[in-house]
Structure 1
Amino acid sequence: MLLAVLIANSVGNILVERFHGVPAEERLHWRSFLVKLGADNLKGAKNEELYVASHKSVYIVYTVLGDVAVYVVGKDEYDELALAEVIFVITSAIKDACGKAPTERLFLDKYGKICLCLDEIVWTGILENTEKDRIKRLIRLKPPNEF
């Protein structure tokens, strides 16, 4: 299961978060842990260079994209390789929505579209869509043609 998808700015403020199957009392711990992890390791990181960690029997894959950091947390079948695919889809959706690697301002300008993309990529802790064209079609709120 995908436990969390978090996107934070360069100073550690959470811009978007999606938790699945994580009790409310544990969410603060995960927020602070992930932001600290990024603060320790992402200084000077290249765009879309993947970093991997594990904590409490879960896997964490994170990266920098422009001025934002993207964190994906998973367990069980969502190991490092599966999370790498998830984070690739998320970063490419963000780049498509923004037109390039985002600054914080550009990210916030495209916030609604990015949230729609995240909802189409991950639904209730399961990776739903990985195809860029399908995600674009779904966020336009038109029914898919293949049915």
Structure 2
Amino acid sequence: MLLAVLISNSEGNILIERFNGVPAEERSHWRSFLVKLGADNLKGSRNEELFVASHKSVYVVYTVIGDVYLYVVGKDEYDELALAEVIFIITASIRDVCQKPPSERLFLDKYGRICLCLDEIVWKGVLENTEKERINRLIRLKPPTNI
């Protein structure tokens, strides 16, 4: 299951968070853990360079795209390789929506469309769509042509 998709700015402010199967009392722990992990490792990293962390059966893959940090947390069948696929399609969708790696301002300007993309990619903790063309059609609220 995909436990969390979290996007923050470089100062650690949460821009988007999606939790699945994580109790409400544990969410603040995850927020602070992920933001600290990014602060320690993502400063000065290259755009879309992947980083991996794990603890017991939980995996974290995280990266920087433009001025925002993206974290994906999974367990069970969503190991680091599956999470790398999830993070790849999320970064590609964000790049498509923003037309380039986003600054924080551009990200917030395109917030609604980015949320639609995330909803089409991950649904209730499961990776749903990985095709960019299909995601683009779905966020325009047009029915897919090849079902």
Q: Which TM-score band (shorter chain)?
A: over 0.9
Percent identical residues: 81
Q: Residue 143 of structure 1: SS of its match in structure 2?
A: coil
Name the CA distance, whole Å, in 2 between partners of 1:78 and 1:93: 20
**What residue number does 2:69 align with?**
69
| One-letter code aligned to 1:63 | T
**What residue number does 1:15 align with?**
15
Name the CA distance, whole Å, in 1 between partners of 2:5 and 2:56: 17
Name the CA distance, whole Å, in 1 between partners of 2:29 and 2:55: 12
The root-mean-square deviation of aligned C-alpha atoms, in Å, is: 0.7
| TM-score, normalised relative to structure 1 | 0.98
Equivalent positions of 1:109-120 (< 5 A) are 109-120=109-120
Name the CA distance, whole Å, in 1 between partners of 2:107 and 2:79: 28
Q: Residue 47 of structure 2: SS of its match in structure 1?
A: coil
Name the CA distance, whole Å, in 1 between partners of 2:11 and 2:56: 25
Name the CA distance, whole Å, in 2 between partners of 1:57 and 1:29: 17
Pairwise CA distance, 1:55: 2.6
Name the CA distance, whole Å, in 2 between partners of 1:20 and 1:56: 18
Moved over 3 A (4+): none
Equivalent positions of 1:1-147 (< 5 A) are 1-147=1-147
| TM-score, normalised relative to structure 2 | 0.98
Q: Which runs of 5+ in 2 are unaligned?
A: none
Pairwise CA distance, 1:145: 1.3
Pairwise CA distance, 1:56: 4.5
Name the CA distance, whole Å, in 1 between partners of 2:102 and 2:29: 27
Q: Which runs of 5+ in 1 are unaligned?
A: none
